[in-house]
Amino acid sequence: MNRRSFVKNTCLTGAGLLAGAHVLNAMPLGMLVPNQLMGGRFVTLCIMIRTTPWEVSRDVKLHPRDEEKWHTLEGVKNLREAFGTNNPEGRLTWGFTLNALEDKRNNYVQIREYAAQCQAKYGDEVTVFPGYFPAMYLPPERINKELSGALQIISNFVGRGYKPQSVIGGFLPAESLKYLAEKENIHVAQAVIWSQHNIDGGGADGSLSYPYFPSTEHFCKPGQNKTDIIDCVNLDGWSMDFICARQSGQTGHEITGYNSRRGVGPIETYKGWGLELGNMEVMHTQSIHFDRGFQLNGFGWVPNIWEAQLVYEFGMDFICSAMKKWVTDTLKRWPDTKWVSFGEFGNIWRNHYKNNDDYNYKFVERGCGLGDSYNNLEIRWFMNKSFRLALLRDWHHKTPEMVIDFTRYDLPAHEPVGARPDKPVKDWSLINRINQKGLRPQDKPVLLNELTDAEQELIYKYCPELKV
């Protein structure tokens, strides 16, 4: 597809015109650009560049380790080339922390230059990644100011009038998402980490795992009406194994213990289990979205974030082999998979869904048998504008399905306030009726028919197949 046909097919009016202009700005001439959500299988990958672990600002660094020597041109180049093996049309997102954008040491200068070259050559996205948890440590006005400053730095060194279509934010508060849409004309953000709770120093469980327009009340909540919706598509950062994600945090041995972050992430899979077992878990997690999920939802999407420092922390040969194996095996099993940037995918979704009224996501998983992905368990998730609902059963013993999560989005929600570096706010979760982590007395699983009549009526409105 050339630029002319892309314009004809996608740049119609309003949001389509805007998103199309952004894509054209980002794509080299002749680059194939997908423009249809339905019928597509998509992977979005971000490679993160930082100077220390968990940095959220110039002076807010949660770990003292200086990773300058772990970030080299050789490392990121080998990682990008491993991604491109058997995947010549694939595009990814480069996410730089503010420190990594401003650092004048040679390694970071070279990496920024290389990312700009990848943008020109492959159509990669180059954007800001203000750490995983800026909302925990900084007030929204400071986050917003630093986002704008970082975006300007990126435009300057990439050149040619470039501006990314998205930002990678970990957790970003609703006020910052509104700022991106209204002040920066950016309508996509990776701003939630699905099921994250009591791990890496904090959490924000309670959102959908697939794209949605967030509410002005809380970034984990889908907007309920025109005045409540923020026009900035909220994306997850990693696809999770739903069976594993029921837990809070992690405990015990890497293999025999549990880890709520098990899914497609390389630390929890390839690093923890090795190439073969790790890849089995990655492919299993992707199959939730690319097989049955594709049938149920009309499209499939897998997000992933890899930290560039993994190349040196765990070995360049190992990490690049893991990247190559992931990409190659994915394309062998699902050859129609499109590897696009976070911004591209978010705008493809935004051009299809104009609000939160029409999507009704559904997923089914039976555990793969590795670690705490127990193969006797079957979980079904239902996610829409009004609620998310999870049903769990032991399909080996044919036990009845139990409600383990019923998070209502038609109820008022409020984000924490007052976060600052010396007084962080660690938990941004949206938890109300029943939560999958099972940490409160009211989170005890119940049968669907044990919910109130009004709750059952709401559920059956979106999921009539559940009505017996």
Tell me: the pLDDT tens digits for 159-183?
Answer: 999 999 999 998 999 999 999 999 9
Tell me: the pLDDT tens digits for 47-58?
Answer: 999 999 888 888
Cα separation, 328 vs 337, whole angstroms: 11
Of 28 and 312, the structure prediction assigns the larger pLDDT to 312
Tell me: the pLDDT tens digits for 133-167?
Answer: 888 899 999 999 999 999 999 999 999 999 999 99
Query: Predicted confidence band at 17 (pLDDT cuts at 50, 70, 90)?
Result: very low
Cα separation, 247 vs 437, whole angstroms: 5
Tell me: the pLDDT tens digits for 423-447?
Answer: 989 889 999 999 999 999 999 999 9
**Mean pLDDT computed over 194-216:** 88
Per-residue DSSP letter, 96: E
The pTM of the full predicted model, rounded to 2 decimals, is: 0.92
Cα separation, 93 vs 433, whole angstroms: 36
pLDDT at residue number 272: 87
Rg of the chain on CA atoms, in Å: 21
Name the fold adopted by 361-466. Arylsulfatase, C-terminal domain (3.30.1120)
Among 237, 243, 245, 174, which Cα is nearest to 210's?
237
Q: Which residues pair with 391 in a beta bridge?
A: 380, 403
Residues of each domain in the chain carrying CATH 3.20.20.510:
21-352
The mean pLDDT of the chain is: 91
**Mean pLDDT computed over 318-329:** 98
Helix locations, 65-137, DSSP H: 73-84, 98-102, 106-122, 134-137
- Structural contact between residues 118 and 94, judged by C-beta atoms closer than 8 angstroms: yes
Percentages helix, strand, coil for the chain, rounded to the nearest 5? 40, 20, 45
Query: Where does residue 269 rank: exposed (0-12), middle (13-18), buried (19+ CB within 10 A)?
Result: buried
Residues 6+ apart with CB under 8 A from 269: 262, 263, 278, 279, 281, 282
Cα separation, 238 vs 224, whole angstroms: 25
pLDDT at residue number 10: 34
**Mean pLDDT computed over 276-297:** 98
Q: CA–CA distance from 411 to each of 59, 210, 360, 463 (Å)? A: 37, 20, 18, 19
Strands 338-340 vs 41-49: parallel, antiparallel or unpaired: parallel
Reading the block at residue 257, the tokens are: 């213990």
Q: 195 pLDDT exceeds 90? A: no
- Structural contact between residues 35 and 51, judged by C-beta atoms closer than 8 angstroms: no
Angle in degrees, CA 305, 16, 26, rounded to 5: 50
Q: CA–CA distance from 14 to each of 131, 350, 354 (Å)? A: 32, 11, 11
Among 391, 351, 364, which Cα is nearest to 296's?
364
Query: Predicted confidence band at 6 (pLDDT cuts at 50, 70, 90)?
Result: very low
Q: Which residues pair with 362 in a beta bridge?
A: 382
pLDDT at residue number 254: 59
pLDDT at residue number 150: 97
Cα separation, 318 vs 295, whole angstroms: 34
The percent of residues above 90 in pLDDT, for the chain, comes to 79
Per-residue DSSP letter, 269: I
- Structural contact between residues 151 and 164, judged by C-beta atoms closer than 8 angstroms: yes
Query: Predicted confidence band at 24 (pLDDT cuts at 50, 70, 90)?
Result: very low
Tell me: the pLDDT tens digits for 342-351?
Answer: 999 999 999 9
- φ, ψ of residue 201 to 5 degrees: the values are 85, 5
Per-residue DSSP letter, 2: -
Task: Give the alpha-carbon dihedral of 431, 436, 440, 446, to 10 degrees.
Answer: 110
Q: At what angle do helices 106-122 and 140-158 cross, to 10 degrees?
A: 70
Among 315, 76, 250, which Cα is nearest to 263's?
250
**Mean pLDDT computed over 210-229:** 97
Residues of each domain in the chain carrying CATH 3.30.1120.110:
361-466
pLDDT at residue number 59: 84
**Mean pLDDT computed over 353-361:** 97
Cα separation, 45 vs 42, whole angstroms: 10
Of 23 and 128, the structure prediction assigns the larger pLDDT to 128
The percent of residues above 70 in pLDDT, for the chain, comes to 91
pLDDT at residue number 391: 98
Per-residue DSSP letter, 300: E
Cα separation, 78 vs 311, whole angstroms: 9
Q: 448 pLDDT exceeds 70? A: yes
Cα separation, 58 vs 328, whole angstroms: 37
Superfamily grouping for domain 21-352 = Uncharacterised protein PF12979, DUF3863 (3.20.20.510)
Tell me: the pLDDT tens digits for 85-133?
Answer: 999 999 999 999 999 999 999 999 999 999 999 999 999 999 999 988 8
Per-residue DSSP letter, 94: E
